[in-house]
Structure 1
Amino acid sequence: MIIDRINQAKAKEQELTQNGSLKDFASGHHWFGLHKTSTGWVIRDWAPNATQIFMIGDFNDWQERDDYRLQAIGDGHWELSLPEDKLVHGQLYAFSMHWNGGNGKRIPAWCKRVVQDEETKLFNAQVWIQEKDFEWKHPNYMRAEEAPLIYESHVGMAGEEERVHTYNEFREQILPRIKAAGYNTVQLMAIPEHPYYGSFGYHVSSFFAPSSRFGTPEELKQLIDEAHGMGLAVIIDLVHSHAVKNEVEGLGNYDGTRYQFFHSGAKGEHPAWDSYCFNYGKNEVLHFLLSNIRYWLEDFKFDGFRFDGVTSMLYFDHGLGKAFTKYDDYYDGGVDQEAVSYFYLASKLIHEVDPNALSIAEEVSGMPGLATPIEGGGYGFDYRMAMGVPDFWIKLIKEIPDDNWDMGQIFHELTSKRLDEKVVSYAESHDQALVGDKTIIFRLMDKEMYFSMRKDQPNLLVDRGMALHKMIRLATVTCAGGAYLNFMGNEFGHPEWIDFPREGNNWSYKHAKRIWSLAENKELRYHLLSDFDQQMMQWIRQVGLLETPEVVWRYDNNGDKVLSYQRGEFLMVFNFNPTQSYTDYGIPVEPSKFKILFNTDEGRFGGQERIDKRMTYYTRPSAGLTSQHYLHLYLPARTAIVLKREAFKRVR
């Protein structure tokens, strides 16, 4: 079955490339769409069911005119050439598309600039040709070969004001924060144009147009360029799993047919997302999507992708209501081979265009081979999202009292992955912050966040929340299977939830922002969580912790609520007990000596400063020198300690 899937994917590659390269095949954006030429303008499109297409815009009063009529040139392709004086930068345009039995206005599928009228809320394509190419200051940037520490971000809600924020504001105000926080990768959400802001960018309408609500394409390029100058890689949320149903500003019924880009009938409609599902069996659709990948990598110099909705693409039933508890679930005939072939092609193309690019699959089923190299018979993603980890933490916090937490289960859940794949581990992402759900900090503190986050207002519930927030993140990142992710603001315990403007909240932006000033106010406790997260990230990068693949269990005691494990030369010890501190607690390790690097109980991180960091800790044998050695530590309640093993000369 596995070999057959890969062979089918290779056959599709051969069919598409005819012994050429995937990069050459994925060049549709250089042909389709609007282009300035040496003699004027040319616009092309693929609309096999169309009978007539007119280019309409403010240059011809939005009227169909023969001199703006596209000509059919075969294979469902249409073309119009115009003299240079017929179009001007900034003008608005669209297609008037005709088919047997109907017609309608359409935003060209391959257009690279779409704008929305603030008054009418209507979308149009926009002529966007700069006099000279964007001048990259860091054209040769290469992503560092280190474990990705990802800062998941949304440009529009990245500021404090109740409005949509911009690429420039993100570049000027947020990039320095990310750099200072110790992360090395920025993940940008909601970049391809989407008509409904509240969709978080997951109902895409124009796949080649960076959202104009945040600024211009050049301003997005400047953001990426400046990030590269800071040593930050930038990846984009890529939504090739489905598309918005909208017809004027989307691909729905584009040429009068549902089946041009999507499956017809029920197979083409996502039952949970109210969207259309792409037909990955059509070569023209593969051409569109693969060209989209190359476009973002080359034109904007993104450093990779987080592929959204991979589970939905893989299975005919979209993985809905399926537990995936046995391997039969992956090989029972419910897998869409056309989607498998697409992933194979996409993964190969990404690394053909940029060998250092990242490809991350948002996938919940645990499909075997998904994050295994193509050469090993896998689908070629570099990482998959460890989506079970945040679900585990939420279930633990929500349903199980602290004194019943299972230490062995925590270690198992945080380290559970196949040996041949790497994963992006995270305690919470934007998913856990959306309205209707709760962030970890809000689950831990609830309403006390509103009243007791001042340093001069002691509160036991806040103390508990602060302690567990740090411990949960430290455990997650130190057990991470290759990479780590955090949603912006969660590192300092951003209060409340995310709620984009919608009819149900009177189109309010109140919860579609980030209140950075909370973390800047030294009278509040938020900065203490931020300071701890910064310590964690900088340490992990400095020592290359996540490049050490093996996480070695050392000890757990469910009664005491103590857990310990080792990664390379670093030992992590957790006391999750809510009330009991331990003196001279023995952790079984090899003969050695250790120094404490940092711990969650330090005063600078909002702790009670109960641990002496100046001491050097030597292991002691339980009997003779050859017996089991123990590292004896003071373990305050709800505290985690990071120790480093130092050179040790064993006495014989």
Structure 2
Amino acid sequence: MTEKIIHGVSLAGEEDIYLFREGTHRRIYEFLGAHLAKHEGASGTLFAVWAPAAAAAFIMGDFNSWRRESHPLSPRWDSSGIWEGFVPNVAEGCRYKFVIRTASGDLIEKSDPLAFASEKMPATASVVASPSYEWRDAEWMMMRAAKNSVDAPQSIYEMHAGSWRRRADDSFLSWRELAEQLPDYLAANGFTHVEFMPVMEHPFYGSWGYQTTGYFAPTSRYGSPEELMCLIDALHRRGVGVILDWVPSHFPTDSFGLYRFDGTALYEHEDGRRGFHPDWKSAIFNYGRSEVRCFLISSAHYWLERYHADGIRVDAVASMLYLDYSRRGGEWLPNRYGGKENLEAIDFLHELNSALYEDFEGISVTAEESTSWPAVTKPVWLGGLGFGYKWNMGWMNDFISYISQDPVYRKYAHDKLTFGMWYAYSENFVLPFSHDEVVYGKRSLFEKMPGDEWQKAANLRLALGWMLCHPGKKLLFMGGEFGQSREWCHDRALDWQQLGDARHAGIAKWFSDANNFYKAHAALWRFDQRPEGFEWIDCSDRDSGVVSFIRRGESEGELIVAAANFTPVVRVGYRIGLPRGGFWREALNSDAEIYGGSGCGNMGGVRAEKVPFHGRDYSAEMTLPPLGFLIFVSGEAETISEQEEK
């Protein structure tokens, strides 16, 4: 990487400092942190850190045998709170930390908040790095706006890098090894995107990355920054988009991290009623502080710019929006109007989304927001929060509650199956079967299903079909695609050996076929966010447990009918109204023998008769398999034998 030529021992100009203090700088990683540089003909590294309350600041590392006070930094003349210093002969790969002398005289050691790399945990030093990579994904980058559009198919594979697969000795796969295996797997199974649980550096592996300390550094557990770039590049060249989980809602209180960075509550609030999260025992960012907003927006910016990420998913947005989130009376402070809304966090989210969508064409920003906060995915200029997508937690909770019941009792919870359509177009929704639903005793998706092993598999195939055909983008956590039986555990690989069991192989085959079908048929995604894309045929037959609906695309020929039987009873001669006459091919049947089903179906399709039913001119009698999901396509050629019969 070319060294930067510095003058006056600084990379920050007056405009940089002005924007930093104003809270509108989007690239503070260009002048804070560690940067390879040349000064007065000497090669080395320029170090810069924001620590306004520090009495003094130093840099220590491999280059000075970790002596705390041998290399002092100098405060900038402009009262920005930034300390800087150039150290000659410090090269890429050198480990370092900042040393802060607090106002009380204590010396505290801190990792670099802007470090581009870290040493492997449990060690906590930062590493001088200047990541560079020769990207080969230009074709993807040109077309990603269409791939991320609300009018495009999106089937997202959520995964944890350390527990997807492992080596024979149970050690982690590297980013590069993932690049050799993951893109083909995702493409073959019909996924359009992958969403990585946080790849940023984190001290506690069991936090899955959600206790972030390195907001600009990928975790070194799986390799170098360049290797992560290689993985993203490989995914792009295989036609798979990349979404990164990102956590601006809280950060851990480890002594080497952001917590009380300069001896004061620099990144967090001093008052624990605003600055400490009771659920996660972590610190909450002070969104009202200009420099903190710059830090967070620059972090998101960095992953989109330097790592070519196609989107970020913002974790725990609800905890940011509400001052009383997970708190009892007296444990929180109201806003200036006496309300519970976090006005500073709302302003931050407005700034974040406006900045990212302005600076990066074709990206997406998704909110994990679990309440009924209005207009999450509406533009800021229309009064919304400005996100592109929102996880539909209500749909997920209702459907899991419904499908996990014994079919005998499902008719009493029928409204949970259909209620989601009342608000389906209020936001740009993603339907999530995420990691949160398969941990902490909640059981795997497979084990949530009622009945014996055959019924569990049938119910899961039915559930996956329902998700893929329901309006909204899709997200499935790894292992769900083959019905892993055990709960997910970050300390082991998925149970791939279950694919040797015909039942789980059948689930995998069903999901792959259905997911690829979803991606190939515009009727299932073109109008996800508009009412013209969906129409109930019948959603009221709670006694039979049968629901049927139509999905429509742009042209009259793009018509798909889906029918779901949520009971283990075969429905023979069950009549369903159809939007047109002619032959309707049974394109997919979750009860087919190749998927582990009983083989009950309609011998390839049904012919619509001129018999009015369900308020339509045409209808057909069908056989609905037990716990089965059927997809019919209109207007396709019939077999020769069928033509001869006519």
- Asked if TM exceeds 0.5, the reply is yes
Is the Cα–Cα contact under 8 Å of residues 608 and 618 in structure 2 kept in the other structure?
no
Q: 2:163 aligned with 1:163, yes or no?
A: no
- List per-residue Cα deviations over 1:275-310 (Å, max 9, x = no partner): 000111111111101111111111111011110000
Tell me which residue corresponds to 1:8: none
1: CA distance, partners of 2:371 / 2:309: 27
- Cα pair distance change 1:147/1:70, threshold 3 Å: farther
Tell me which residue corresponds to 1:548: 527
Between Structure 1 and Structure 2, how many residues are aligned?
A: 587
Is the Cα–Cα contact under 8 Å of residues 157 and 514 in structure 1 kept in the other structure?
yes
Tell me which residue corresponds to 2:402: 396
2:511 pairs with one of 524, 528, 533? 533
1:116 pairs with one of 112, 120, 128? 120
Deviation at 1:57, TM superposition (A): 0.9
- Cα pair distance change 1:262/1:181, threshold 3 Å: farther
SS of match in other structure, 2:525: helix
Q: Residues 307-318 of structure 1 correspond to what in structure 2 (within 5 A)?
A: 307-318=314-325
SS of match in other structure, 1:525: helix
2:498 partner amino acid: L
SS of match in other structure, 2:140: coil
2: CA distance, partners of 1:646 / 1:202: 49
Tell me which residue corresponds to 1:128: 129
1:94 partner amino acid: K
1: CA distance, partners of 2:446 / 2:182: 22
Tell me which residue corresponds to 2:434: 429
2:359 pairs with one of 345, 353, 356? 353
Deviation at 1:420, TM superposition (A): 4.2
2:165 partner amino acid: G
Is the Cα–Cα contact under 8 Å of residues 23 and 293 in structure 2 kept in the other structure?
no
1:42 partner amino acid: L
1: CA distance, partners of 2:413 / 2:585: 24
- Cα pair distance change 1:518/1:212, threshold 3 Å: same
2: CA distance, partners of 1:525 / 1:597: 21
Tell me which residue corresponds to 1:37: 37
2:452 partner amino acid: L
- Cα pair distance change 1:52/1:404, threshold 3 Å: same
SS of match in other structure, 1:585: strand
Q: Residues 72-471 of structure 1 correspond to what in structure 2 (within 5 A)?
A: 72-73=76-77, 74-83=79-88, 85=89, 87-101=90-104, 102-116=106-120, 121-129=122-130, 133-139=132-138, 141-142=140-141, 143=144, 144=147, 145=149, 146-161=152-167, 162-248=170-256, 250-318=257-325, 333-398=339-404, 401-406=407-412, 408-417=414-423, 419-426=425-432, 428-444=433-449, 461-471=452-462
Deviation at 1:55, TM superposition (A): 0.5
Tell me which residue corresponds to 2:9: none
1:582 pairs with one of 555, 559, 571? 571
Is the Cα–Cα contact under 8 Å of residues 371 and 422 in structure 1 kept in the other structure?
yes
Mean Cα displacement is larger for which, 313-322 or 372-381?
A: 313-322
Is the Cα–Cα contact under 8 Å of residues 194 and 211 in structure 1 kept in the other structure?
yes
1: CA distance, partners of 2:396 / 2:113: 37
1: CA distance, partners of 2:596 / 2:633: 22
1:575 partner amino acid: N
Is the Cα–Cα contact under 8 Å of residues 237 and 308 in structure 1 kept in the other structure?
yes
- Cα pair distance change 1:398/1:530, threshold 3 Å: closer
1:601 partner amino acid: D
Task: Show structure 2 runs of 5+ residues with no match.
Answer: 1-14, 330-336, 553-558, 638-646
Is the Cα–Cα contact under 8 Å of residues 213 and 252 in structure 2 kept in the other structure?
yes
SS of match in other structure, 1:355: coil
Tell me which residue corresponds to 2:556: none
Q: 2:542 aligned with 1:558, yes or no?
A: yes
1: CA distance, partners of 2:316 / 2:322: 11
1:484 partner amino acid: K
Deviation at 1:583, TM superposition (A): 1.9
Is the Cα–Cα contact under 8 Å of residues 435 and 498 in structure 1 kept in the other structure?
no
Tell me which residue corresponds to 2:494: 514
Deviation at 1:259, TM superposition (A): 4.1
Q: Residues 50-89 of structure 1 correspond to what in structure 2 (within 5 A)?
A: 50-73=54-77, 74-83=79-88, 85=89, 87-89=90-92
Is the Cα–Cα contact under 8 Å of residues 184 and 231 in structure 1 kept in the other structure?
yes
1: CA distance, partners of 2:267 / 2:162: 32
- Cα pair distance change 1:601/1:222, threshold 3 Å: same
1: CA distance, partners of 2:255 / 2:185: 40
1:518 partner amino acid: Q
- List per-residue Cα deviations over 1:432-480 (Å, max 9, x = no partner): 11132211202237xxxxxxxxxxxxxx711101111011111122113
- Cα pair distance change 1:65/1:17, threshold 3 Å: closer
Is the Cα–Cα contact under 8 Å of residues 606 and 620 in structure 2 kept in the other structure?
no
Is the Cα–Cα contact under 8 Å of residues 198 and 245 in structure 2 kept in the other structure?
yes
Deviation at 1:419, TM superposition (A): 2.6
Is the Cα–Cα contact under 8 Å of residues 592 and 646 in structure 1 kept in the other structure?
no
1:122 partner amino acid: A
Tell me which residue corresponds to 1:618: 608
When the two chains are superposed, the root-mean-square deviation of aligned CA atoms in Å is: 2.7
- Cα pair distance change 1:384/1:547, threshold 3 Å: same
Is the Cα–Cα contact under 8 Å of residues 19 and 25 in structure 2 kept in the other structure?
no
Deviation at 1:208, TM superposition (A): 0.8
2: CA distance, partners of 1:116 / 1:591: 62
TM-score by length of 2: 0.85
2:449 partner amino acid: L
1:135 partner amino acid: E
Is the Cα–Cα contact under 8 Å of residues 573 and 622 in structure 2 kept in the other structure?
yes
- Cα pair distance change 1:443/1:265, threshold 3 Å: closer
1:547 partner amino acid: R
- Cα pair distance change 1:489/1:361, threshold 3 Å: same
1: CA distance, partners of 2:616 / 2:403: 39
2:510 partner amino acid: F
1: CA distance, partners of 2:459 / 2:338: 41
Is the Cα–Cα contact under 8 Å of residues 23 and 291 in structure 2 kept in the other structure?
no
Is the Cα–Cα contact under 8 Å of residues 153 and 187 in structure 1 kept in the other structure?
yes
SS of match in other structure, 2:562: strand
- Cα pair distance change 1:396/1:647, threshold 3 Å: closer
2: CA distance, partners of 1:469 / 1:315: 35
Is the Cα–Cα contact under 8 Å of residues 97 and 104 in structure 1 kept in the other structure?
yes
- Cα pair distance change 1:466/1:387, threshold 3 Å: same
2: CA distance, partners of 1:616 / 1:189: 44
Mean Cα displacement is larger for which, 626-635 or 462-471?
A: 626-635
Deviation at 1:409, TM superposition (A): 1.5
Deviation at 1:399, TM superposition (A): 5.1
Is the Cα–Cα contact under 8 Å of residues 101 and 107 in structure 2 kept in the other structure?
yes
Tell me which residue corresponds to 2:551: 567
2: CA distance, partners of 1:376 / 1:19: 26
- Cα pair distance change 1:406/1:620, threshold 3 Å: farther
Tell me which residue corresponds to 1:475: 466
Q: 2:54 aligned with 1:46, yes or no?
A: no
1:463 partner amino acid: W
1: CA distance, partners of 2:544 / 2:403: 18
- List per-residue Cα deviations over 1:132-176 (Å, max 9, x = no partner): x31111145332242321100111111145333321222112222
- Cα pair distance change 1:563/1:271, threshold 3 Å: same
Is the Cα–Cα contact under 8 Å of residues 59 and 71 in structure 2 kept in the other structure?
no
- List per-residue Cα deviations over 1:240-286 (Å, max 9, x = no partner): 010011121x1011100124444533210011111000111111111
